[in-house]
Amino acid sequence: MMKKLLRAACLVLLFILIIPLSACEGGVEDETTNDTTIIETESTALTTGEPVTTAVETNAAGRIVIPTVSLDMLPAFSGGGAKKDYDCGGGVYMRYVDKVYEKELNAYLAGLEESGYTKLASWKIGKNSFSRYVKGTVEVYAYYILTEATARIIISPYDVTADSRINNSDTGDGEVLLTQVGINYTTVINGMSYIIRTPKGSFIVIDGGWADQGEAKQILDLLNEQNENGGKPHVAAWILTHPHSDHIGAISEFSTLYNDQIVLERLIWNFVSDATMRASDSDKMVTDLNSYYGKIKRALNNRNVWGGVEIVKPHTGQTLTFDGVSITVIETHEDIFPNTDALEYMNAASMAFVVEAAGNRMLMLGDCTSSGTSLIAKRFVDWLKCDYLQPTHHGSTGGNLDLYRYAAPAVTLWCSSIPRFEEYKGSDFNQYLIKNCAEHYYSGNGTVTLTIKKK
């Protein structure tokens, strides 16, 4: 009898120990993220425009829980050549089709509508076509690249209330500022940090630089210094290009030390899946529980930190518009696929985009590699014309002469130390910028703030 009682006690103790371990598996989520709450939310029906009240689930961070999707939910694609599937990360998946005619993709999209999908929008950038479709809680985003004869069909969970939170029609008439934040290059060679003050007086932060070098505090000080709206600075968006330490270290530190000193509205990123990152040069971002990436995800999963922040995973061709600024994505890791070998190096996964404000265009290339910048040049040609250019990969490798010629900027923003710039300035693409741009600024020379004159 005593043995049976002892065995039962051991089982109870084992059960108690296992439950909390499984609840925090992965190491980056708040321990209560699996709890859900039912709330009532009002949205607008896509067909009638009438308000519809529906019950939705929220997790412990306060985020709406949307049913998951899979590539099996996509109709079969007839025509084209090879079809390859890709896990884009974050519960988003893509079907890639090569050797395809645009009319074949159009026929496929027409079939989506016949099967109950509603087309939200379609548009072109240059000769490339883009479309959005939704059906219930499923979104299908598709785009066709003419020069490559390729189609990418992306399926993701859809929240009908999200668009109105991500985008707004506010414009504002305030003075727009562009700040290249100085980086401490004493012990490091790279680093990238930019702040844009929007016409509404809110801010957009791009990357941020390293942790443990004072750069997080420097960002906070600049936000407070440039804030003319009173109260805490409103950061309309913090954009992260890719998960390297010299780009996401500062926001990781910020999320721990200064998260309550700003109002952060959106985090915009399109990172690869954990499995892809684990096989890359950034494997520690997912294997180390205290990595910069892990700290950011913990902050986003904590209701008391950044649980209320809108997380946006944009794709090439999509434009986000808020506070008098628009951001058009022109490359993500989804464009590098199916070249999975390139994604062993996370620079290849860097997001590139064009920011438009006060009639000016700023081309931000992050750390795109040569394969990426070549794609951008061939796809978008003279649409890339801009006023301000951030040369890729700190002005070292990865540039493209054709791209820089299409961009033809008046101002070049080198997120580089002076010795690093001197080392790589001899390349043909950098020489083009040196000889043809009127103004050059180097983050190694300290912080500089430029007034963006309205056109």
- Angle between helix axes 245-257 and 215-226 (nearest 10 degrees) is 70
Average pLDDT over residues 87-91: 97
Burial class (CB in 10 A: 0-12, 13-18, 19+), 193: buried
What tokens were used for 302?
């904590």
Instruction: Quote the pLDDT of residue 411.
Output: 98
Average pLDDT over residues 273-290: 96
Domain span(s) for CATH 3.60.15.10 in the chain: 165-452
User: Does residue 44 carry a pLDDT above 80?
Assistant: no
pLDDT confidence tier of residue 56, bands split at 50, 70 and 90: low
Question: Which H helix or E strand runs over 85?
Answer: strand 83-89
pTM, 2 dp: 0.88
**Lowest-pLDDT range, 1-5, 44-48, 88-92, 251-255?**
44-48
Cα–Cα dist 207/246, whole Å: 8
User: Does residue 309 carry a pLDDT above 70?
Assistant: yes
pLDDT tens, 343-389? 999 999 999 999 999 999 999 999 999 999 999 999 999 999 999 99
Using alpha carbons only, give the angle 212, 215, 221 rounded to the nearest 5 degrees: 130
Instruction: Quote the pLDDT of residue 21.
Output: 32
User: Does residue 293 carry a pLDDT above 60?
Assistant: yes
What tokens were used for 2?
């005593």
Specify the fold of 165-452: Metallo-beta-lactamase; Chain A (3.60.15)
pLDDT tens, 191-226? 999 999 999 999 999 999 999 999 999 999 999 999
- Which residues have a Cβ under 8 Å from the Cβ of 212 and sit 6 or more positions away? 249, 253
pLDDT tens, 239-258? 999 999 999 999 999 999 99
